[in-house]
Amino acid sequence: MGIISYIKSEIRTIRERDPAIKSNLEVLLYPGFKAILSHRVAHKLYLKEYYFMARWISQRTARKTGIEIHPGAKIGKGLFIDHGNGVVIGETAEIGNYVTLYQGVTLGGTGKEQGKRHPTIKDHVMISAGAKVLGSFIVGEHAKIGAGAVVLNEVPPNSTIIGVPRHVVKQGEISTYSDLNEEKTLCQFLQKPA
């Protein structure tokens, strides 16, 4: 894919996922767009072992956008970083196609792993604001990770994860978190007149 085709594809991705964007030109101001475009260049340099230049580009981009992507990270097509300030993506992270990350997301390590230290995010995953996904494991396709969740181990496909530590609250179409029903019952009880 040529650079013009790539840029058009990225513009289309952002316009499809962010209703606040009103024109293609506005996308050019978008921090997520700048960060991903810079990462593509830095990653190519990293693969050719021009490590200093790759890091220079990534660190310069981090200062300008607030989004830090290590040039070694592998990123598929259609990554959407919305309100990206504080996003950190580690060196051995792998991100599939059509993934959405919100502000403050960290795809990092725990400091205990050697080699592959960061998570692998499969296709069509959404990771909400402030979530921390730490360690070398897989987040399955179509998974959703809630705001502020701390995830330290594998996430099954089609799951919804919340909390600290993380809880699977939905697996496919099946709700797995019984406390939600208990909370609803408690709220109904508290609303009844004495």
User: In whole angstroms, how far apart are CA 25 and each of 12, 21, 66?
Assistant: 12, 9, 21
Quote the DSSP letter at residue 134.
E
Nearest to 35 by CA among 14, 21, 18: 14
- As a whole number of angstroms, the distance between CA 17 and CA 22 comes to 12
Backbone angles phi, psi at 175, to 5 degrees: -75, 135
Q: 162 - beta bridge partners? A: 167
Complete domains list, the chain, with CATH: 3-191 (2.160.10.10)
Dihedral angle sign, alpha carbons of residues 153, 174, 105, 91? positive
pLDDT score, position 6: 82
Rounded to the nearest 10 degrees, the angle between the axes of helix 31-47 and helix 3-17 is: 140
- As a whole number of angstroms, the distance between CA 130 and CA 2 comes to 34
How many helices and strands (H and E) does the chain possess? 5, 16
- As a whole number of angstroms, the distance between CA 26 and CA 73 comes to 27
pTM (2 d.p.): 0.84
In this predicted structure, the answer to whether residue 178 has a pLDDT above a threshold of 90 is no
Tens-place pLDDT, residues 59-72: 999 999 999 999 99
Higher pLDDT: 126 or 182? It is: 126
Tens-place pLDDT, residues 28-49: 888 999 999 999 999 999 999 9
